[in-house]
Chain A
């Protein structure tokens, strides 16, 4: 508890200390922290490597954009509905994709999620009338003062912190412990009478839903959403963040997200070769730091 107070002071005080530019980056960190932690519910706890998780982040972003631009609702109402719609729509998509994907495990699971993501990417690219096709959707703005980073930051905080708390309670619950057991030895868990696929599917849906929420949040912060969010190269992002922060701690991926986002801002401000720098960072990470930054060889209890 004593560690919560300084953390709360830091998070609540940030808007007074940061410029609008860095506040914008802080909002991005919040969204990606939620994205990476939700992804890690699958990887770190369930031992399921989703290689199509950008699908849900993207679906959440598109759900928010379509709600704001095409639903014809009053801006205030549409905006208020964004978190709910982003959650529900990505949960439904995750239910559909997950239903097929959890039939397989290991690398085949990864490839199924990958195939479905590419399917959605193609749809985002080709359904020009709804998604704007190649140009994506731009000009999304939260109404009123929320359009300013100072206020939007608090809005994002008010969504991300409770969402992380829900996820934390989930992984600390009996359900969460069953997931960890599944990572360690799925066959044995099955033998004691646990429905393995149902647990995996439930984790997949929760993970996808919160990734979608993060996507919706991020779309409104940047004001746009592009099909590239759903392309295969985007699915490396949550994996890098989780592995960078350490997959064996709950908040490790959030730390990884913060480091990743800040590094991207700093490096891409200096050179256009950010992918090259990121590639080198990943190589170093994979070869030298297999437990991530916050890992220190700690395993979940």
Chain B
């Protein structure tokens, strides 16, 4: 029995395996951060759990499929895909918020839940209508293929690129939220929407902008994930669950929490696969349940 357990952890001795899993965990965590940061912001400001956020991520990936198909493997087409996915999803997000979600902010929880659920089903089928039912793949642009060598280990360049983008987005978000006037409004809205509105801030526009920002981050995440996942109509079902776990652990409404929890979940999953194959997911849901019981506002959230 002990031998068996020791065997399960034999990889600990191998720095190559540990480094590889760490890199995979951190880079997957960065993708998770892009989607969960938006989910968390939207919950913090709009008080809505947007179950359709995974579908927005999937749309980002599909946009990347279409745009990179114009000039496969070129860096230019890939850059266009990243920008196009973020911009396109920002527009879609703004339309969804101003057309649908805006009407149910004062409704009961079950109506809010049902509406974002309806969007999951609608967007899922619309994606099938546009891009078909089969899986697509996007190749890594020529500039980012290959791998970098350091400390006698090799790292795939694209994974390093993902981590770099994640860091840049995290810093940019921090700057926007804490160093701009707009960011101050957003932070104020997470605390007291009524007061903010009474002080003369146009909260309607603010809500639309927050939702559009969240959607843009999800779209960017989807486009960045496109080269390392199978882009198909079922993509969003699992993605939203991971993001949801992250947001609950990190604290709903907290972008810093989303960052920390994303990396945590990414790394736990990467090593969990080695230690207890198949059961790593159980670990993250158990972690989520424990957090909800002992600290429902999450690691970095503020209590109600």
Residues of A with Cβ closer than 8 Å to B? 43, 49, 51, 100, 103-104, 106-108, 110-112, 114-116, 118-119, 122-123, 126, 231-233, 236, 239-240, 242-243, 247, 273, 275-276, 278-283, 285-287, 290
Cβ contacts under 8 Å, B282 to chain A: 119, 122-123, 126
For residue B230, CB closer than 8 A to chain A, the reply is no
Question: Can you list 17 A-B pairs with a CB-CB distance of less than 8 A?
Answer: A43-B110, A100-B289, A104-B292, A111-B248, A112-B293, A115-B292, A126-B281, A240-B114, A276-B126, A278-B121, A279-B125, A280-B118, A282-B121, A285-B114, A286-B104, A286-B107, A286-B115
Chain A residues with Cβ under 8 A from B104's Cβ?
286-287
Residues of A within 8 A of B92 (CB): none
3 A-B pairs with the lowest CB-CB distances in the bound complex, closest first: A276-B125, A279-B122, A279-B121
The verdict on B120 contacting chain A, using a C-beta distance below 8 Å, is yes
In the complex formed, the residue of A with least CB distance to B125 is A276
Q: What is the chain B residue whose CB lies nearest that of A232? A: B241
- Complex contact A119–B289 (CB within 8 A): yes
Contact with A along B237-270 (1 / 0, CB 8 A): 1000100100010000000000000000000000
Contact present for A115 and B248 (CB under 8 Å): yes
Judging by beta carbons under 8 Å apart, are B107 and A275 in contact?
A: no
Say yes or no: A286 contacts B111, CB within 8 Å.
yes
B72 at the binding interface (Cβ < 8 Å)? no
Q: Are the CB atoms of A231 and B278 closer together than 8 Å?
A: no
Chain A residue contacts of B113, Cβ below 8 A: 49, 51, 110, 236, 239
- A residues within 8 A CB of B289? 100, 112, 115-116, 119
Contacts of B110 in A (CB 8 A): 43, 49, 239, 242-243, 247
Q: Report how far A23 CA is from B115 CA in the complex, Å.
A: 32
Name the prevailing secondary structure of the B interface residues: helix
Whether B18 sits at the interface, judged by CB under 8 Å, is: no
Chain B residues positioned under 8 Å from A112 (CB to CB): 289, 292-293
Bound together, the chains give a CA A138 to CA B120 distance in angstroms of: 29
What is the CA–CA distance of A122 and B120 in the complex, to the nearest angstrom?
A: 21
Q: Judge whether B100 is part of the interface by a CB distance below 8 angstroms.
A: yes
Number of residues on chain B facing chain A (CB within 8 A): 37
In whole angstroms, what is the CA distance A283 to B286 when docked?
33
B165 on interface, CB distance cutoff 8 Å: no
A-contacting residues, B268-304, CB 8 Å: 278-279, 281-282, 285-286, 288-289, 292-293, 296
B69 in the interface (beta carbon within 8 A): no
Is the CB of B119 closer than 8 A to any CB of chain A? Answer: yes
Q: By the criterion CB–CB under 8 Å, are A290 and B107 in contact? A: yes
Whether B114 pairs with A275 at a CB distance below 8 angstroms is: no
Contacts A106-B109, A126-B278, A233-B237 given; indicate if A111 touches B292 (C-beta within 8 A). Answer: yes
List chain B residues, Cβ under 8 A from A104.
292-293, 296
Main SS at interface, chain A: helix
> For residue B288, which residue of chain A has the nearest CB?
A115
Partner of A275, one of B121, B288, B292: B121
Closest to A47 in B: B108
CB distance from A292 to the nearest CB of B (A): 11
From the candidates A100, A118, A290, name the one contacting B111 in the complex (CB within 8 A).
A290
Residues of A with C-beta under 8 A to B293: 100, 103-104, 112
CB of B155 within 8 Å of the partner chain: no
- Cα distance A278–B289 in the bound complex, in angstroms: 30
Query: Which residues of the other chain, A, contact B279 by a CB distance below 8 angstroms?
Result: 126
Chain A CB within 10 A, most for which of B49, B279, B288, B289: B289
Per-position 1/0 for B115-135, Cβ under 8 A of A: 101111110111011000000
Interface string of B79-107 (1 = CB under 8 A from A): 00000000000000000000010011001
Residues of B within 8 A of A273 (CB): 125, 128-129
Cβ contacts under 8 Å, A276 to chain B: 121-122, 125-126, 129
